[in-house]
């Protein structure tokens, strides 16, 4: 491993909001260098730079054949069992298995992953940037370009501007959206959103939906993205929509959470609520597309990184994330 992002999804295992076999090695947002390859792997070699993909796809199942590899049904259960695709883990302690979160386990100096979970990228790509492409950037930018397919000139609100939310802001700017309204509790994150393409910022409150309508001629926005996975914020996001608007949920809420929706209002307003899992991406293609956009100067992914940490500073990294003092932290191994 060269770098691993500090993402909220790992924290859900700590709190129990996301059920998962334990004990586990966490970390699902990573970039590394190939040390060795197993039998039958002839398209990767030691020294290759790879981004790790936490949603491997078989290419032949119902969803893969319909252009939805992020929803692959063949590998879904195995990944959530905390194992590799053969049903085993490569990590052990005192003779007992340590499960690999998302089949990756990026918070380790070395790991073993399935071939379909390693995407080769240009050697010149900064590993810290590569790590963020492994989850936050693909999720955020993908929710705009792939899931919502935002058109130029349409209005966008992004609720929660951590790593995924800021990536959503960058995706909205890339799509030519206007205005782009960022909503968060933390002023430092909102300032970062302005630097990355947001045109307005709003401090989150129970009246945020009205604040957004005030900024959009009383109508609301064409697209609202909830990137924090907070049910109360998702409800406010829905209320911020204009007629015909779309709410995209990219943040992972606790598994038991629910969202109150008025079917009558949804029908009369022709609004849509959609999930976006891994940015509706095809990682084998999209990772390199995002890397190219960064290298070309169209996607300033490096500006998401607030601070880097050593692996033994992981608890401090998560305290900073939970405290809202960083946009995205990255654990570095060199």
The CATH number given to whatever domain includes residue 124 is: 3.90.180.10
For 140-164, what is the mean pLDDT? Answer: 97
The 3-state DSSP class for residue 282 equals: coil
The DSSP string of 212-271 is: HHHHTTTS-EEEEEE-S--HHHHHHHHHTEEEEEEEEE-S---TT------HHHHHHHT-
pTM: 0.95
Name the band, by pLDDT with cuts 50, 70 and 90, for residue 325: confident
* Pair (174, 150) in one structural domain: yes
* Pair (234, 269) in one structural domain: yes
Q: DSSP character for 199?
A: S
* Pair (208, 171) in one structural domain: yes
> Mean pLDDT score of the chain, rounded to an integer?
96
**How many structural domains compose the chain?**
2
- Where does a domain end: 277, 298, 320? 277
- Where does a domain end: 254, 277, 300? 277
Judge whether 115 and 41 are in contact, CB under 8 Å: yes
* Pair (236, 267) in one structural domain: yes
Judge whether 302 and 330 are in contact, CB under 8 Å: no
Name the band, by pLDDT with cuts 50, 70 and 90, for residue 334: confident
* Pair (92, 222) in one structural domain: no
Q: Is residue 277 packed enough to be buried (19+ CB in 10 Å), middle (13-18) or exposed (0-12)?
A: middle
CATH classification of the domain holding 250: 3.40.50.720
* Pair (157, 112) in one structural domain: no
Per-residue pLDDT, 53: 97
- Where does a domain end: 258, 277, 296? 277
Q: Among positive and negative, which fits the CA dihedral 221, 265, 239, 278?
A: negative
- pLDDT reading at 61 higher than 90: yes
* Pair (55, 78) in one structural domain: yes
Q: Among positive and negative, which fits the CA dihedral 243, 248, 252, 258?
A: positive
Q: Which residues span the domain enclosing 145?
A: 138-277
* Pair (256, 144) in one structural domain: yes
- pLDDT reading at 211 higher than 90: yes
* Pair (272, 146) in one structural domain: yes
Per-residue pLDDT, 80: 92
* Pair (132, 142) in one structural domain: no
- The encoded tokens of residue 297 equal 């100067």
Query: What are the residue ranges of helices labelled H in the chain?
Result: 8-15, 62-65, 73-80, 127-133, 136-142, 163-175, 187-195, 208-215, 231-239, 263-269, 283-295, 314-323
Q: DSSP character for 303?
A: G
What residues are paired with 303 via a beta bridge? none
Per-residue pLDDT, 46: 98
Name the band, by pLDDT with cuts 50, 70 and 90, for residue 255: confident
The C-alpha angle with vertex 297 and arms to 166 and 5, in degrees rounded to 5, equals 40
* Pair (11, 120) in one structural domain: yes
Instruction: Quote the CA–CA distance of 185 and 225 in Å, as a whole number.
Output: 16
- The encoded tokens of residue 125 equal 């790509």
* Pair (92, 195) in one structural domain: no
Q: What percent of the chain has pLDDT over 90?
A: 95
């Amino acid at each position: 491993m060269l770098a691993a992002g500090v993402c909220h999804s790992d924290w859900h295992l700590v709190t129990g909001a996301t059920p998962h076999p334990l004990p586990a090695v966490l970390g699902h947002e990573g970039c590394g260098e190939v040390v060795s390859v197993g039998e039958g792997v002839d398209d990767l070699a030691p020294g290759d730079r790879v981004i790790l993909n936490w949603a491997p796809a078989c290419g032949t199942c119902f969803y893969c054949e319909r252009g939805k590899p992020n929803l692959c049904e063949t590998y879904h259960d195995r990944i959530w069992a905390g194992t590799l695709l053969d049903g085993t883990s490569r990590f052990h302690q005192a003779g007992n298995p340590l499960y690999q979160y998302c089949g990756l386990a990026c918070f380790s100096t070395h790991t073993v992953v399935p071939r379909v979970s390693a995407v080769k990228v240009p050697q010149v790509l900064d590993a810290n940037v590569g790590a963020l492409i492994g989850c936050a950037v693909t999720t955020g930018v993908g929710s705009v370009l792939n899931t919502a397919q935002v058109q130029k000139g349409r209005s966008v609100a992004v609720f929660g501007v951590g790593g995924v939310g800021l990536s959503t802001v960058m995706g909205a700017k890339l799509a030519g959206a206007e205005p782009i309204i960022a909503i968060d509790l933390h002023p430092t994150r909102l300032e970062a959103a302005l630097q990355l393409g947001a045109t307005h910022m709003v401090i989150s409150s129970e009246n945020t939906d009205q604040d957004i309508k005030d900024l959009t001629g009383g109508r609301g926005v064409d697209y609202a993205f909830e990137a924090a996975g907070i049910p109360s914020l998702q409800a406010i996001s829905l209320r911020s929509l204009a007629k015909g608007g779309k709410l995209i949920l990219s943040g992972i809420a606790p598994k038991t959470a629910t969202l109150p929706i008025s079917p009558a209002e949804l029908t009369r307003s022709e609004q849509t609520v959609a999930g976006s899992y891994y940015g509706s991406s095809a990682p084998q293609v999209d990772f390199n597309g995002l890397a190219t956009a960064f290298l070309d100067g169209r996607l300033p992914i490096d500006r998401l990184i607030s601070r880097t940490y050593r692996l033994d500073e992981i608890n401090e990294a998560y305290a900073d994330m939970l405290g809202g003092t960083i946009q995205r932290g990255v654990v570095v191994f060199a």
